[in-house]
């Protein structure tokens, strides 16, 4: 049962850019040396692959993965930090150590807003990944308690809890409408299914997972 979704968007500090960035290339531009961050995750391969023009990011060949790795190695001197947690990226932005990165759309930006740090999320011209979280019940283990929990999660109580704590978009837009301002409803794309459809939704990599992971680990080991 889907219950929340979002994008792996990109985010920048408003006070650091006279012209709003529109491309992943900004994270690879030497003029931003020391002010760039990137999520410490194999999805960095997806980012570099798109910059290389390889858009089928979940089915990259060995050669395309190697090209993405080379691009990330080239970028590495510009990177202040490969961040692992939401709080880590928030602190980097709040302290002015970093002013552009990929991000968990809606989450870190909302935490920065609480600190009165003005940031903007954007989907670059090379697109962004998307994700959808779902609840599942192990086969043969269903119980009344489990179904009550699932039913609660799709109601206003569950959907608003996820959206208002984590800043993620809700799967049940009618439930979300009950607790969101018009501004928040629009910002989280609750009325725009085409936005979700436009994202490169995460797909299992299967036996190729190791190739992607090894490439990312090799970048960090350089």
Instruction: Tell me the domain boundaries of the chain.
Output: 2-131+200-221, 133-196
Q: What is the mean pLDDT of the chain?
A: 95
Rounded-to-integer distance, Cα 163 and Cα 204, Å: 25
Backbone angles phi, psi at 27, to 5 degrees: -75, -10
DSSP state of 35: S
Contacts of 219 (CB under 8 A, 6+ apart): 44, 69, 72, 73, 76
Res 20: pLDDT: 97
- 89: pLDDT confidence band, cut at 50, 70 and 90? very high
| Per-residue model confidence (pLDDT) at position 140 | 87
Cα pseudo-dihedral 49, 23, 101, 15, rounded to 10: 170
- Give per-residue pLDDT as tens, 124-156: 999 999 999 999 998 888 889 999 999 999 999
Instruction: Say whether pLDDT at 206 is over 90.
Output: yes
Mark 3-26 as b/e (b = at least 16 C-beta within 10 Å): bbbbbbbbbbbeeeeeeebeebeb
Mean pLDDT of 22-34: 98
Is the pLDDT score of 84 beyond 90?
A: yes
**Residue 142: predicted pLDDT:** 82
How confident is the model over 97-122, as a mean pLDDT?
A: 95
Report domain 2-131+200-221's class: alpha beta
pLDDT at 65 over 90: yes
What is the model's pTM? Answer: 0.92
> What's the whole-number mean pLDDT along residues 11-20?
97
Instruction: Provide the pLDDT for residue 141.
Output: 83
């Amino acid at each position: 049962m889907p219950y929340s979704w979002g994008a792996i968007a990109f985010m920048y500090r408003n006070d650091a850019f006279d012209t709003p960035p529109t491309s992943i290339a900004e994270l690879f531009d030497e003029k931003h040396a020391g002010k760039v961050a990137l999520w410490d995750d194999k999805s960095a391969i997806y980012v570099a692959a798109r910059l290389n023009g390889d858009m089928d990011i979940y089915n990259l060949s060995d050669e395309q993965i190697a090209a993405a790795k080379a691009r990330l190695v080239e970028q590495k001197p510009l990177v202040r930090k490969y961040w692992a947690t939401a709080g880590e990226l928030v602190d980097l932005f709040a302290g002015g150590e970093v002013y552009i990165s990929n991000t968990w759309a809606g989450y870190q930006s909302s935490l920065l807003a609480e600190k009165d740090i003005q940031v903007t999320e954007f989907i670059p011209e090379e697109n962004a990944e998307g994700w959808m979280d779902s609840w599942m019940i192990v086969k043969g283990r269903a119980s009344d308690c489990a179904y009550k929990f699932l039913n609660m999660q799709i109601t206003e109580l569950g959907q608003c809890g996820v959206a208002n704590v984590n800043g993620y978009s809700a799967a049940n837009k009618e439930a979300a409408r009950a607790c969101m301002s018009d501004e928040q409803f629009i910002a989280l794309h609750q009325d725009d299914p085409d936005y979700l459809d436009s994202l490169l939704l995460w797909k299992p990599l299967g036996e190729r997972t190791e190739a992607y992971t090894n490439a990312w680990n090799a970048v960090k080991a350089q």
